[in-house]
Structures are given as structure tokens and as C-alpha cells.
Amino acid sequence: MGKEKGKLLDRRYRLEERIGFGGMGAVYRAFDTRIGRVVALKELRQEYSEDEMIRKRFIREAQAAGQLKHPHVVTVHDYFDEDSDLYIVMEYLDGGTLLDRMNEAPGRCVNLWTALKACREALEGLSAAHDLSLVHRDVKPGNLLFDSDGTVKIADFGVVTALEREGEITTLTQVGTHPGTLVYMSPEQIDGAEVDGRSDVYSMAAVLYEAIAGVRYFERAGMRRTERALMDAICEVPPVPIRQHAPHLPVEVERLLEHALTKLIEDRPSARQMAAAIAEIEERRGELDLADPDEMATRPRIGLEPQPRVERGPLSPSESSAETLPRARVTSPSEEATVARVAPKPAMDPTTLRDAPARGPTTRASTRSSAERSALPARPPTLDRAEAPTKPRTRSPERTRARDGAVEVELPGGPTVIGGGPSSDELPRRRVALSSFAIDRAPVTVRQYRAFLEAVSRGISLDVPLLAALYPRGKDHRPQGWGSIEFEMLCPTDDHPIVNVDWFDASAYAAWVGARLPSEVEWERAARGQQGERLYPWGEQAPSLERAHFGRSSQGPSPVGQLPAGATPEGLLDMAGNVWEWCRDAYDPDAYSRYDERDPCLPIRGPSARAVKRGASWTNAPHSLRCSKRGFEKLHIRRNNLGFRCARDC
């Protein structure tokens, strides 16, 4: 419900009118009676402000955003709490948003130079934020605001960041949604991987593409509008070349967008580099071969032939939003021909975009050469429900573990092939030797973990690396949200996989049952076979919902072992999708080069290490289900799509 006009908040801010309402909450124009100026008040939605964790992070991030002073970032003046509602006080801008200008433009195509200037200025603001390790995570046209002089400032720092911090479970994340607007998200955001400033660059490139072309970069004729189909398009399918929509666009702009929209985060420019590249294009405006930009919206588009109407599913993220997906424009049949990942050609002169290191607070850039990347295999195909012949299943020896009833599958030792996937941290493909080991047939369940918590409550001693040093008084091993209604919604039965446990929790459980976490090489061998012969745990067939739980097809994980069609020939279940699984290794993007020849594993050396996770989850796109896919998290992170299974030496 909106606040009444004239109400005085925090004894100084008099409300004038509501000027917007978005995913985070309402925005009001108000008058600061103490300073004598007009301000914007953003009210955090009630379901967020009632969550104590979000409240604390909101305050922390508002303080951080208040330190960010830049001519292209909306200034945060203050924040306050009144009647249990949270407000952030921001600079008021009266020039509208880029979204407004797109909606008012013919064909939703903004003047090229207006779009380039707006995005360059926003990128300059983002660059300043990235220098302070602030990542926006929700760059979209509605967050690019104009002042009365036409200068762009980017809004909502401190709001979005506060809703997604340190992996803590919240009312928001428990039900499977996340901050950000899906159609502008980067592939790593959708995958639930760690992000840095280059994730914002991807989103800004998506905004720039749409502002110029009037359609989104992934739109093709007849594409479905379900959330899973959109995730698939964003994560797997190369962008439609923008000059198919805007044939008179300078090739330099096309190449810049190709570079910024590349799927691999380490291949993208930083915000500073992309802003510099746009500035160079603007400086060369008189040299570029371009028709009158105001005429571009009315020019015929290449390959636009009428197509039969295709029924579309609902767009689930926010159908009522002003930024939901418009109807797809029809494109040429040749655009539909491929869904494989392709290596983009360089966007600009390498000296302008690649010499400086890409900035970002977290993700380390790959050390792989461009030559190695160009030789990467194509992405796996997308969804395909057609069943292909599979090899007969050859069950390995099994053993039931006494303490928790888990079934262990014993796998023979010997040489095994690892690596060779499409991401740079999956290279090189190589052969190593493994000793015989056993691994759980399925992830640890809620029932099994509850028995562990009962044992802990009675007092047990566990030998877990770093545990005693970091938690001298003992650690609370209960999953985040344990016992709450939200957790019961996430995992409603005892047969669901346990989630919201960190690396120490998983390691402690493994020690309790007389086992350990698998190394990532053991996990990969179990998933793809001794000779690395399987793309997915079940074989070469593309992911389908009969084989794996992925693509946010529900509001949480499913009970373990429900999809026997996705089992490995040895009988291992849920090795792809449902929940990511902790491994005992420290993550290193160059691990496949550094590994020893026999029983390789990079040990956790300290509390700042990042541990490997494997297998992808119910939130991920289908390409992440490949056996070679690697992920990582900080040791203390707990996520609603992250669990584990155990292993032991034979």
C-alpha cells in the first residue's frame, strides 16, 4: 500500500508522490525539510525488510554505497528505519530512465549516439564501484537515470548487493528466486557462480544491444517464453548479430557487443575498458560509415519474413513488470541453426581492451591462451527429450554404510581421463591415476543429516581440517534456516538432499560416518567414467527433465534418486543437477595443469580458501550439467542448491 501524500518520515522527509514501483519496493519523491531539497526515497519491500539478515546487509551496503561518490552514480544521502520499514534516501533525478526513452522511441530503438553515451557514462560509474569491490548485479534500463542535463547516473547500488551477499539464506533465496532481472543477467549469475564486475559489463552490453536494436540479444523466432527457455538462451546460445536488426550500425559497435556478451567471464572487458572503447567510437563518429541514426528504427531489418504464430509459455519472473520480455521479432531461419557456443572474434584493438587486467573483486582471470580457447569443443546441445539408445548398465559392487544407511558404490582404480570441457578451467584434458575408492550412490539426505545433528548434540569429537582452530568453542552444524517454515518449503521430506550446509558441515558429517568428501577428480571419474567417455553422467544424450532436475523447474531440489534415467552405468544417482556437491579440494583455475599424476587433490590450506563444488543444481541451465563443469565457493558459504555426498578409500 502506498504512503499518503504529505506524511513526514524520519521527522524530516515529507512525501510528495510515488514515482515508481519495482522489484525492491516503492520509490517516492520527497522533500527534505531540514536541508531544503527534493530527494528520492526507496522503500524496501515488506517481505525483505522483515528478514533480519537482509536488514543488516541492507544497512551495511547502504553505508558502503554512501561512500561511492561519482558523477555517474546516484548519490546515497542517508538511510533510516521507521515503523519496521527500511528506506534509503537518494539523489532525485527528474530526467526519466533509459527504459522510458526506449519505450517512447520508434520501434524501441534509441538514437545510437544517445544509447552509446548513456551506457558509457553508466559504465564509468560502474567502474568506480567495482574499484571498491561493489558489484551491482541488476543493471537494466530502468536503473539508468537521466538528470535534467541529460547526464546518466546508475541507481540502486547497496540495494541489490544487500540482497545477495555471502551466500546466506534469505526469504528471497529460499524459494528459488534471486535479485536481478533475468533477461539482463549474465550466465554466471544464472548458474549461481561467483560474480565480479564483468557480470555487470555483460548486463550493460545486453542493455546497449536492446536500446539500439529494439529487441534483446537472444531473441529468435518462435522461442519459448518459459523461465527455463530464457536461461537456456542466455547461457548457451550466441547472441544474434546486432547488424541483422540494425544493418547500418558501425561494425565497431557490433564487435564491442560480441566481446562484452561472451559467455566466459574471463574473456570480457572490464567496465573501464568497455567505457574507453565506447569513447573511442564516439570520437570517431565522423569517420564511421553510418546512415542517419534517427532513420534506423524505420529501416527494413534483414531476414524478417513472416512466420506462423507460436504458442508461448508464461514468462515467470515478473509478468507485470515494465521490463518483461516483449514479443520476439522474427529473424532469419539461419539464426536458428546453431545452439553451440562459439568463440567470439575480438571486439576492438587488443591494446584497448585486453592489455589492462579486467577488474573485479572475486574471479581470477584465466591464464589460458586464446589459441587454447579457440580449440574448445562446442557447447553441449540444449534440451532434447528424445531418448537415444543407452549402454547396458553394469553395476559396480555396493556396500551399505552402517552408521547412516548410505549405499556406497565401489569403483576400481587405474588411469582415468579428466578435463577437456568448454571452460578454460577445465583444461587441459589429461590422464591421471586413481586408487580404488567408494562414493555414495546419492547425496546425503535430510534424514541422514538429522541423525548427525542428534549425535553432535550428545557430544562427539570430529577430526576436520581447520575446524578446531576456527571454532574453538565448537561449531553449530545446523543448516541455515533449519527448523524454519522456509527450510521445510525448500526440503519438505526426509528424502530431500540436505542443503544450506557449508564445507565444514559436510566435512564433519563425513568424518562422523567414517568417510570423507570426494576429491574433484574422484567425483569427475565417478560421473563420466574411467576413460572420460561420457559428456553427462548418463551418456551423450542432451539433458532432459527425465534425467536431471535443473532449470528452476520447481521451487527447490527434489528427493534424491527420483530420476533413474539419469544414473551412471555404475548406478550413481543425481550426479547432474538437483544440488551442487562439495568436494574436499581447494579450487584453482589451473588445477588440471598442476595436478599430480596419482590421486591428485589440492588440499585446503586456510580459512580463505575456496573449495570445489561439482554437479550443478536445480537452479542451473542445462549446459552446466556436463561432467567436467567446475564450480567453487568460500568454505563458510551455505546455499539452497548446495549439498554433498561422501567417499572413502577402498
Catalytic residues: 138
What DSSP designation does 543 have?
A: P
The helix/strand count (H/E) of the chain reads as 19, 18
| Under 8 Å between Cβ of 467 and 507 | yes
How many angstroms separate the CA atoms of 544 and 537, rounded?
12
Taking the C-alpha atoms of residue 195 and residue 173, their distance in angstroms, rounded to an integer, is: 17
Q: How far is it, in rounded angstroms, from Cα 493 to Cα 40?
A: 45
C-alpha R_g of the chain: 25
Give how far Cα 258 sits from Cα of 103, 241, 345, 348, 585, Å: 24, 8, 7, 10, 35
3-state secondary structure of 484: coil
Structure-block grid coordinates of residue 180: 536481478
∠ CA 558-559-563, nearest 5°, is 80
Question: What does each C-alpha distance from 578 to 393, 403, 607, 622, 644 come to in angstroms?
Answer: 22, 25, 27, 12, 11
| Residue 407, C-beta contacts closer than 8 angstroms, at least 6 positions apart | 398, 399, 400, 401, 440, 441, 442
Tell me the backbone φ, ψ of residue 610, rounded to 5 degrees: -110, 130
- Strand partners for 39: 30, 91
- Give the closest residue to 616 by CA, choosing from 532, 530, 551: 551
Contact 501, 494 (CB under 8 A): no
Measured at the CA of 535, the angle between CA 531 and CA 541, to 5 degrees, comes to 130
In contact, 417 and 433? CB cutoff 8 Å = no
| Cα angle 130, 136, 137; round to 5 | 125
- How far, in Å, are 161, 319, 427, 432, 436 from residue 591 at the CA level? 30, 43, 9, 13, 22
Quick one: three-class SS letters along 603-641? CCCCCCCEEEEECCCCCCCHHHHCCCCEEEEECCCCCCC
Which residues lie across from 604 on neighbouring strands? none
Query: CA-CA distance, 539 to 520, in Å (whole number)?
Result: 19
Backbone angles phi, psi at 442, to 5 degrees: -145, 165
CA atoms within 13 A of residue 81's CA, in its CB half-sphere:
9
Task: Return the HEC string of 352-388.
Answer: HHCCCCCCCCCCCCCCCCHHHHHCCCCCCCCCCCCCC
Q: Which residues contact 12 (CB under 8 A, 6 or more apart)?
A: 32, 33, 34
Closest of 238, 184, 179 to residue 206, by C-alpha: 184
Do 439 and 406 meet the contact criterion of CB atoms below 8 Å apart? no
